[in-house]
Amino acid sequence: MNQTIRRTKTAGYIQRFETNTVVQSVFILHLPFTNNHRKMLRQILLLIVGAAMVIAQRRLALPDPRSCVNRVRHATYRDARGVTHSYFFSWEHLPTRNLEVDWLDARNICRRHCMDAVSLETPQENEFIKQRIVRGNVRYIWTSGRKCNFAGCDRQDLQPPNINGWFWSGSGAKIGPTTQRNTGDWSHTGGFGQAQPDNREAAQGNDESCLSILNNFYNDGIKWHDVACHHVKPFVCEDSEELLNFVASRNPGIRL
């Protein structure tokens, strides 16, 4: 099979994407394994084959050790769970200040640097990111949020996908049901005046299966919205323990 190499305007971050199947882990935290088995399986799935997400025949990037060492870190945040991660905000870095990319490109730029698109797993982390959006006067950003609407997502507990199928692809953690407004920061409105996620572009054949934060786009404050993944936006990267551990395990003595 011929492979198509696509040059992007993110030269210096990702050199190419090849035609291939993209696979990504889904809800590994909820599988019935011990912690050690879960951690091992998650790393294998994230880095080697992943699980069941095909995105336009493009694949997830593996981390580059040198890029990981030299990754730009604009902020460090310790959440309520005691987890400390560093963050990169694309609009705060001169080479990417005006860069807007689609959802997968955003993830791959992050992943090359041992990071991933941000996963907002606690209300405190969500507020931290929202404050940064306000400070930068950014209209919207990509997160790692994804709807499980692809092969392998037919599990009963994920039905219907627009309610029970959302998860953070950067960490594998499941997002609570979208009908329970206290389990997320979904907007009460959107382009059709309906509560999010509304899958508004489905009528045009575009499934709104990626999670973006919009900054008062519909006079609704800074809120979560489902958006078709091909749209381009700035992005936030967050340290990925799996990718950092992966690089460290294969490069003894590396300082990350």
pLDDT, tens digit, 9 for 90 and up, residues 161-183: 999 999 999 999 999 999 998 88
Instruction: Categorize the per-residue pLDDT at 36 as very low, low, confident or very high, splitting at 50, 70 and 90.
Output: low
Q: Comparing 182 with 249, which gets the higher pLDDT?
A: 249
Q: Helix, strand, coil proportions of the chain in percent (round to 5)?
A: 30, 20, 50
Average pLDDT over residues 88-115: 98
CATH class of the structural domain 64-250: alpha beta
Q: Is the pLDDT of residue 246 over 90?
A: yes
- Sequence-distant (6+) residues with CB within 8 A of 59 are 17, 18, 20, 21, 22, 23
| Per-residue pLDDT tens digits for 5-23 | 233 444 444 433 222 323 3
Q: Comparing 81 with 196, which gets the higher pLDDT?
A: 196
Distance CA 244, CA 69 (A): 10
Distance CA 111, CA 170 (A): 9
Range with lowest mean pLDDT among 25-34, 60-69, 107-116, 224-233? 25-34
